[in-house]
Amino acid sequence: MTASAKPKGVSLIRLLCVGLPIVLGATAATAQSRQLEVPIHQAARVQLGAAAGSVIVANPAIADVAVTDARTLFITGKAYGVTEVIAVDGVGRPLFQRQIVVAPSSAGTVRVWRGQETTEVTCGSTCAPAAPAGRGS
């Protein structure tokens, strides 16, 4: 191997060692940024950059969308799971497209275990049994 060939090979390996983790990390961050986590029975506000013409919820059993004005959406978690919400303008151009993950809310929630039985209670100044997932209180 010539002296000039060795540094090029070493440089390529160094470039791959440094660059590959950055590219893979950026891909994971992009995928994660396309998710919006909404706690069950709570809402998240989404502000659009332009007026929405249509809003589509892939699985309305998991999440619901309330359109308060042409540029403001409220996404409510109805049941545990994953769905997608898409908002398009009047000519069909996408304004918002995200995977919605409806997950349990841990704020103000306490789980009590008695043997095999688990009871979930919601606590403020006092505690009361939590409403089962998918049902209103």
Buried b vs exposed e over 4-24: b needs ≥16 C-beta within 10 Å? eeeeeeeeeeeeeeeeeeeee
Q: Is the pTM of this model over 0.75?
A: no
CA 117 from centroid of its chain's CA atoms = 30
Domain ranges of the chain: 1-33, 35-103
In degrees rounded to 5, what are phi and psi of residue 43?
-125, 155
Return the pLDDT at 137.
44
Q: What is the pLDDT along the chain (137 residues), one digit of tens a residue?
A: 555 555 666 666 666 666 655 655 544 444 445 899 999 899 999 999 999 999 999 999 999 999 999 999 999 999 999 999 999 999 999 999 999 999 887 777 788 889 988 888 888 888 888 776 544 44
Return the pLDDT at 79.
94
Of 61, 67, 53, nearest to 102 by C-alpha is: 61
The letter for the amino acid at 9 is: G
Provide the CATH topology of domain 35-103.
Answer: Immunoglobulin-like (2.60.40)
CA angle 15, 16, 17 (to 5 degrees): 90
Return the pLDDT at 32.
43
Return the pLDDT at 26.
47
Note whether 46 and 96 are within 8 A (CB).
yes
Largest CA distance in the chain: 78
